[in-house]
Amino acid sequence: MSAAASRTTTDLPEPSLPDPDLLKVLRTMALARAVDERCMNLQRQGRLGFYVPLEGQEAAQVGCAWALQPGDWVCPAYRELAVALTRGVPLRDILNQLYGNSADLSKGRQMPNHYGFRQHRFLSASSPIGTQIIHAVGLAYASRYKGEKVVAVPFFGDGATSSNDFHSGMNFAGVYKAPVVFFCQNNQWAISLPREKQTHSSTLAIKANAYGFPGVQVDGNDFHAVYRAVKEARARAVAGEGPTLIEAVTYRMGPHSTSDDPRRYRTPQELATWKARDPIERLKSELLARGVFSEAQFESLQEELRSMVQKEVQEVEKMGPPAATSLFDDVWASLSPNLEEERKEFEELLREGVIRP
């Protein structure tokens, strides 16, 4: 039994949201876990080429995203599935991108987990570490210049705090008081490099001191703590008081990606310790202790979500790949004469079977 599960009704944390909203939070976290489990299995079966899991980081992601407004900018890394779901991105759109099929908004041009959704102000991810940090700072500075009361939130891991872009972004945001909420998910591992081997700072949050703005460390497995910290940081930012660095201390329970084997660099004992702090079990236990719902209802919810994910996957897998000629799209508003000629030649080669889509 986890520490969260052993709490009594007298020492439960003060809810940050009404119980109906917390049930929605729990559902979103459980949905992210269900998608995660299914996509990991799909990749192992050879049905997905690549996947980046987030198991263990659901409270950090949902807690942060829940505190934002629709107009705020999200600048993700490549693990922010729960953020996208909280922002209202349809699961079908996410799965289409993972498969790179004909319905994929990015037309199969991005790596899996590198999705972007303009309608939800959710930027496309980029594989190079930390680049989203300076993108967020630029967006935040431009938004303030335009008079918009919004913030930009770059999501990144502990490893990214050693990148050039982290320090460049922090310095610019501090000097110009850009409305940024820097959100670091300290999941203890930068792939196989432990946090203690990449920095000797007592915390990651303390790095904000060098740039003249607050740094806050919170329990990243506690939805309430994350939600409150981000809500306060957002209020500071839109009031013109500048950025905040939030370090959400959490843990990546699964591999860095499906190309990684964490058994080579961490112990079963370490994993067991963090599994006892599972953020979903923590929030579930709190709601059970308050009598908001029952264990049977939670089990029913899990079955419902797994069934929904399975049906979505079945529909997505019916879709074929993007049209081969789509590689000529989106270069210019209208094709240049030389591209028109190249497209005609390409179509002829497709008809002759010289090139196979």
CB-CB contact of 4 with 286 (8 Å) = yes
> Radius of gyration (Cα) for the chain, nearest Å?
22
Query: Which residue in 47, 92, 265, 290 is the catalytic one?
Result: 265
Secondary element (H or E) of residue 107 = none
Is 252 labeled as catalytic in the residue annotation? yes
Is 256 labeled as catalytic in the residue annotation? yes
Query: Which residue in 79, 135, 252, 277 is the catalytic one?
Result: 252
Q: What angle do CA 108, 111, 113 make, to 5 degrees?
A: 110
Helix (H, G, I), strand (E, B) or coil at 78: coil
Query: Which residue in 33, 224, 256, 282 is the catalytic one?
Result: 256
Amino acid identity of 350?
L
Rounded Cα gap, residues 161 and 199, in angstroms: 9
Where does residue 56 fall: left (phi above 0), alpha (psi -120 to 50 degrees), or beta otherwise? Answer: left
Q: Which residues contact 222 (CB under 8 A, 6 or more apart)?
A: 13, 59, 63, 279, 282
Is 135 labeled as catalytic in the residue annotation? no
β pairing state of 215-219 and 193-194: unpaired
Catalytic residues, by residue number, are: 252, 256, 265
